[in-house]
Homo-oligomer: A and B are copies of this chain.
Amino acid sequence: MRVIFDEELKAVADDLDRMAQDVRKAIKGAGDALLNQDIEAAQTVIDGDIEIDALESSVIDQCVRLLAKQNPVATDLRVVVSTLRLAATFERMGDLAKHIAESARRTYPESPLPAEAKELFGEMVDFLNKTADRVVAMLQDRDTHTAEQIIIDDDVLDNLHHKTFELALSDGWTGTRQQLIDVVLIGRFLERLGDHAVSAARRVVYIVSGFDPSKEPARDENGAVE
């Protein structure tokens, strides 16, 4: 029984790793589409989202089967329950990357962003590419140190996101109303990608330690303690 359980748990963990890798690719592609008007990258992200959705369905099915047949307890149960939530988180990250790619496709061959916003969005994309690398590594090694770094560093992204509003309200803003709409929406999508990475990191901490850091006061997605 234990051998079968371990094998099945390994299979679902592999699928979850694949989801994280696919999400990393989607974030990278969405960034290339946004910043370099890379229409092929945009289309690849948009088309690839179906695979992430299919992986989520497969992960859910495997988890439900594991719960029914193996009755896991303690750490094993935490792994299965957290896997369900991680799969939902990665599915959502895929959607957000897709939304960014769709914005870039819509305005192609122009960028959806005015020139003065590109540097700031470049910093956000760089940050998220690094975060996506960390998510993949954290998940493979169940590395709580990396998980904690993801949680702590999210403030950097929130600050960059805040600066997009300052820019949009400043005298230096030259964009159209459509560009302002896109800056607000794409900024929101990028910020939410960071929030979901934090949520994934919290799940990994929970798997390893049994402690749920989402019950800490600093829970709000803006990082504000209330």
Is the CB of A73 closer than 8 A to any CB of chain B?
yes
- Count contacts on A: residues with CB < 8 A to the other chain: 34
Contact B177–A169 (Cβ < 8 Å): yes
Q: Given A81-B67, A215-B57: A168 and B188 within 8 A (CB)?
A: no
Contact B181–A219 (Cβ < 8 Å): no
Pick from B57, B84, B165, B219: contact of A84, CB below 8 A: B84
Interface residues of A in 50-103 (CB under 8 A from B): 53, 57, 60, 63-64, 67-68, 71-74, 77-78, 81, 84-85, 88, 95
Q: Which residues of B contact A219 (CB under 8 A)?
A: 53
Pick from B57, B67, B184: contact of A67, CB below 8 A: B67
Q: Cα distance A178–B73 when bound, in Å?
A: 51
Minimum CB–CB distance from A117 to chain B (whole Å) comes to: 13
Minimum CB–CB distance from A187 to chain B (whole Å) comes to: 10
Is the CB of A180 closer than 8 A to any CB of chain B?
yes
Minimum CB–CB distance from A52 to chain B (whole Å) comes to: 11
Mask for A163-199, Cβ within 8 A of B = 1, else 0?
0010011000100011011001100100000000000
Q: Which residues of B contact A53 (CB under 8 A)?
A: 219
Contact A81–B64 (Cβ < 8 Å): yes
Q: Which residues of B contact A17 (CB under 8 A)?
A: none
Q: Cα distance A219–B94 when bound, in Å?
A: 13
Contact B68–A77 (Cβ < 8 Å): yes
Contact B77–A64 (Cβ < 8 Å): yes
Q: Cα distance A95–B68 when bound, in Å?
A: 32
Contact B173–A177 (Cβ < 8 Å): yes
Q: Which residues of B contact A74 (CB under 8 A)?
A: 68
Is the CB of A221 closer than 8 A to any CB of chain B?
yes
Contact A177–B178 (Cβ < 8 Å): no
Q: Which residues of B contact A188 (CB under 8 A)?
A: 185, 188
Pick from B64, B73, B184, B220: contact of A184, CB below 8 A: B184
**From A65, which residue of chain B is reached at the shortest CB distance?**
B77
Minimum CB–CB distance from A160 to chain B (whole Å) comes to: 16
Q: Given A64-B81, A88-B85: A181 and B178 within 8 A (CB)?
A: no
Mask for A202-225, Cβ within 8 A of B = 1, else 0?
000000000010010001110000
